[in-house]
Amino acid sequence: MSSNFFQPVDASVVPRFAGLSTFMRLPAVASAEGLDIALVGIPWDGGTTNRAGARHGPRDIRNQSSLMRRVHHVSGIEPFSIANVADVGDLSVNPINLMDGLKRIEDGIAAIVAAGAIPLAAGGDHLTTLPVLRAVARHRPVGMIHFDAHSDTNDRYFGDNPYTHGTPFRRAIEEGLLDPRRVVQIGIRGSIYEPGEHDWAVAQGIRIIYMEEFVRRGATSVMEEARTIAGTGPTYVTFDIDCIDPSMAPGTGTPELGGFTTREVQEMVRLLDGLNIVGADVVEVAPPFDLAGMTALAGATMMFELLCVLAKSVQAARACKIR
C-alpha cells in the first residue's frame, strides 16, 4: 500500500450528498499519469437504435457511486489502498457526428493506455466499446468477457450503416481487435431479427451462453468456462447493464425480460478474479428511463465490483515486478 494513492472523500466527514460528484468520490484529475486505474466517463450515445439517453449515464453513475465504500464485503479487497485510482473526467465527445465521436473516444482512451493506466469506463451506449477496443487492442487482439442481453454482432442497420450499438463486436472482429476464440457472451436472450442471427458470431468462434443455459448451470460453472475461454491472455470485460433484468435495471435503451438479478452479476464479476484484464466498461445506463436512480446504482456498483478485481490484478502485477 502506498500513502500516495488517491483516496475517496470520507463519508463520515463529508456526507455522501455533498461536494462535487466524481466516480467513487475520488479526486478528479487532469490526466491518467501516475494512475493504475483510470475511471472515465464516455457520455455518448450516437450508436443508439431505440430509446436514447445513455449519454447521460456517466453523470448519474458518478452520483450513485457516492454509495460505494472502501472495502469489498466478500473479498476484503480495498481497491484504493492497493491501486492508484482517480476520476479522469469525461472524454471529449461529439453528439452530432458519429465518426468524429468514435475518433475522440479512441484518442481519449489511447491517452489513458499510453499513461500506463487501465481504463474503467462508464458509457455511453455499447458502440463506445468499439473505439475503446481500438485503443486497448491497438497492438494485439484481446479476449473479451461480455455480459449482455444482446450479442451486438449484427452487420448493418437502416440501409448500409455499419456503426450502431448493435454492431460493435462484428466490427471489432473484422478489425482484428478481438480474438473471437477468446470471446464469451453471457446472458444473451430476447427475440431476434431473423433465424440464425447469431450464426456469424458462432462461426467466428465466439461462445454464446444464452440466459437459459446460465439458469441451468449457475454462475460458478458458467464463469469457470468463461475463465477458460479467456485464458491467461489480455482480456477486456464489457458489461451492458441490460444483461440485468429490467425489473432491477429499467433505465436502459433496449430492455429484455428474463435477465440476471443484480446478485447474480455481482457473483459473476467476482469470479473474474485473477484474469489478465486490460480494460473494462459498464455501458447502456440511460437515466431518462431510470427509476429512483436504481439502474445508475446498479451501474456504479458493477463498476466497483470490476474495480476491485482490477485493483487486485494491479497489486499482483506489481508484486511480480518487485520479485
Give contact residues for Mn ion (rule: CB under 5 A): 126, 148-150, 152, 240, 242
CB of 86 to Mn ion, least distance (A): 27
Beta strand ranges found along the chain (DSSP E): 37-42, 85-90, 118-123, 142-147, 178-188, 207-210, 235-240, 277-283
Measured CA to CA, the distance from residue 138 to residue 133 in angstroms comes to 7
> Which one, 36 or 242, has the nearer CB to Mn ion?
242
Closer residue to Mn ion, CB minimum distance, 40 or 186: 186
What is the Cα–Cα distance from 234 to 276, expressed in whole angstroms? Answer: 5
Q: State which H helix or E strand residue 294 sits in.
A: helix 294-322
Nearer to Mn ion, 150 or 312 (CB): 150
Residues 275 and 229: beta-carbon distance below 8 Å: no
| Closer residue to Mn ion (CB): 5 or 169 | 169
Q: For residue 315, what are the CA distances in angstroms to 24, 139, 145, 160, 282? A: 19, 24, 21, 46, 22
Retrieve residue 156's grid coordinates.
448493418
CB of 89 to Mn ion, least distance (A): 24
Closest by CA position to 126, among listed 243, 34, 10, 23: 243
Spell out the alpha helix ranges (H) of 159-293. Answer: 168-174, 199-204, 211-217, 219-230, 262-270
Query: What distance in Å separates the CA atoms of residue 217 and residue 228, rounded to the nearest whole number?
Result: 16
Least distance in angstroms from the C-beta of 6 to Mn ion: 31
CA distances to 146, 173, 225, 285 from 182, rounded to whole Å, are 11, 11, 11, 26
Shortest Å distance, C-beta 298 to Mn ion: 14
Task: Using the minimum distance from each CB to Mn ion, give the nearer residue, 126 or 170.
Answer: 126
By C-beta, is 152 or 264 nearer to Mn ion? 152
Q: How far is the CB of 201 from Mn ion (least distance, A)?
A: 13
Please identify, using beta-carbon distances, which residue of 60 and 284 lies nearer to Mn ion: 284
Assigned C-alpha cell, 9 = 472523500
Shortest distance (Å) from residue 224 CB to Mn ion? 24
Closest contact distance (angstroms) between CB of 151 and Mn ion is 8
